Amino acid sequence: MERTRLMIEEAAPALKLLGDKTRLTIAGMLKNGECCVCEFTEVLEMSQPSVSQHLRKLRDAKLVKENRRGQWVFYSLNENYEAYDLVLSVIDHVSDQSEKLQELEKQGKRIQCE
């Protein structure tokens, strides 16, 4: 697999963003596609403002992109992020976070964002 080597200056900020349990979980949840903010708050079991502030950091760094649909905002990994390959690789070393979403769904706790 060909890969682009990153400068330390590019890689370190990406790793710093992922070096937080909340943000790493968010990134893991996005592995299989976009998620709505309410899903993050549900899975992470933390306050909405706190989640929103983590999302802002990821968004400011361009690690994720947002997509508003009606009153909901969906986030997804930004495949144009300079360290996108690194992010994918990191996520791949972490246990699957989509299970948590599926679990919510199974319990009927998944909020409808459609």
Partner DNA sequence: TTATTATATAAGCATATAATTATATATGTA
Partner DNA sequence: TACATATATAATTATATGCTTATATAATAA
> Is 57 a residue that touches DNA (CB under 7 A)?
yes
Q: Which is nearer to DNA, 4 or 19 (CB)?
A: 19
Among 66, 72, 97, 112, binds a copy of itself (CB under 8 A): 97
Task: Please state the separation of Cα 42 from the chain's center in Å.
Answer: 14
Q: How many CB atoms lie within 10 A of CB 21?
A: 9
* Contact present, 43 and 25 (Cβ < 8 Å): yes
Number of residues that this document lists for the chain: 114
Q: Which is nearer to a copy of itself, 47 or 89 (CB)?
A: 89
In angstroms, what is the minimal distance from the CB of 61 to DNA? 11
Place of tokens 């679990």: 103
Could you tell me the two tokens for 7?
Answer: 């400068």
> Is 68 a residue that touches a copy of itself (CB under 8 A)?
no
Q: Contact positions toward DNA, by CB under 7 A?
A: 16, 20, 22, 36-38, 41, 46-50, 52-57, 66, 68, 70-73, 111, 113
